[in-house]
Amino acid sequence: VYHTPELTPTDHNPDCAVVIDVLRATTTIATALNAGAEAVQAFSDINQLMTVSEAWAADRRIRAGERGGKQVEGCDMGNSPLLCTPEQVQGKRLFISTTNGTRTLQRVENAPVVLTGAQVNRQAVVDYLSQHQPETVWLVGSGWEGAYSLEDTVCAGAIALPFYEQNPAIVGNDEVLGAVSLYRQWQDQLVELFCQASHGQRLLRLDLLDDIKYCAQTDLLNVLPLQVEKGLLTLKS
Ligand code: MLT
């Protein structure tokens, strides 16, 4: 388990990186693809998002920009997964830039396999890892502007738990065991935990409790976003 700020470009790449940003980027990505978005294109730079998406017809794109939990002016939406309904996203490319999650994606984009994980698609990530058994897996929490994230860590624990129970020696480092323990403790009270987390508090100040409740639903969606090109995610078929 890593937290984005620790990763430096010189770090060796894992065989597989799982980017986690439960509140809300990777929940939004899984939800949009499940709702029929053609693909999700992630940008750490919002200006680049606006420029690249210009080439797409307005009815074939949807621009999601979030900073500080709020919608970026000029975008079609912020980063709420609740807005990623089939009516909104079906057949469109979702261009997304968020405070942390899209930056995390960029940090690990050179890994051979990049997946996005959230509580809503936890089992789909576990199934992929069980099936493909990559040698090294990074579960990368996005955090908040360099700070540790409780919700991303508990999701990393939810992903690691089945592997830990199968073979405790597999976990690799203290952070994973800590994440597994955190998930075991809070797995039935994720909304309560998320509401106590610093980013959950930020979202509550923005009256986004419904987003938190949605993001806390374990295994809601059986979808696996996979990076097919740098920054471009589609559904793993
Ligand atoms: C992030 O990138 O940190 C989150 O997605 C922010 C948010 O959606 O509130």
Beta bridge partners of 222: none
Q: Which atom of ligand 1 is nearest to the CA of 202?
A: 9
> Where does ligand 1 bind, in terms of residues with CB under 6 Å?
21, 23-25, 66, 69, 79, 98-101, 142, 144
Amino acid at 73: E
Measure the CA–CA gap between 44 and 103, rounded to whole angstroms. Answer: 5
Alpha helices by DSSP H, listed for the chain, are 25-34, 46-53, 86-89, 101-107, 122-132, 150-166, 174-186, 190-196, 198-205, 209-215
Q: Which atom of ligand 1 is nearest to the CA of 100?
A: 2
Separation of CA 26 and ligand 1 centre (Å): 9
Q: Dig out the tokens for 68 from the structure.
A: 């500080």
Which residue's alpha carbon is at the smallest distance from atom 8 of ligand 1?
A: 24
Q: H or E segment at 39? A: strand 39-42
Beta bridge partners of 3: 141
Separation of CA 144 and ligand 1 centre (Å): 8
How high is the mean pLDDT of the chain? Answer: 94
Q: In this predicted structure, what is the pLDDT of residue 173?
A: 83
Q: Which atom of ligand 1 is nearest to the CA of 98?
A: 2
The whole-model pTM stands at: 0.95
Give every CB contact of residue 91 below 8 A, 6+ residues apart in sequence: 36, 37, 38, 60
pLDDT in tens, 118-153: 999 999 999 999 999 999 999 999 988 778 899 999
